[in-house]
Amino acid sequence: MDIQDPDIKRIVDESRKLSFQRWRAQAKLRGEAVEMTEADWNAVWGDLWFKRGRSIDSWCLSRKDWTKPWRKDNCELMQRREHFSTRSFKKRQRDGDASLLGRKPVDPMEKF
């Protein structure tokens, strides 16, 4: 998204910076290692940052492998619907559930 108005650009930049700081603080509160800079975080989000939110169709940032820290190469953007369908699997995998070793999560769209 190309923002021409300097005042709006400043507001968006400040909002993105605050969003990154909140995201990092929440990750640290959950005990998750964060190895992403603000520039990395902004690069991952790109223009989808404007589509993040709390609804099921909003976008969220998730780790590909929950045993590894937050890094640019270990993150992916997905709709919250997909995140909710895979997070219990990833959480059990992270916590060492022996029945899940070596398995991959089921694609929720595979049913259709």
Tens-place pLDDT, residues 41-89: 999 999 999 999 999 899 999 988 888 999 999 999 999 988 887 777 6
Q: Of 32-36, 43-47, 106-110, which gets the smallest average pLDDT?
A: 106-110
Average pLDDT in the 9-29 region? 94
Q: Write down the mean pLDDT value for the chain.
A: 84
* More reliable by pLDDT, 36 or 1: 36
DSSP the chain: -----HHHHHHHHHHHHHHHHHHHHHHHHTT--B---HHHHHHHHGGGGGGBSSSTTSEEEEESSTTS-B-GGGEEEEEHHHHHHHHHHHHHHHTT-GGGTT--PPPGGGG-
d(CA 1, CA 10): 14
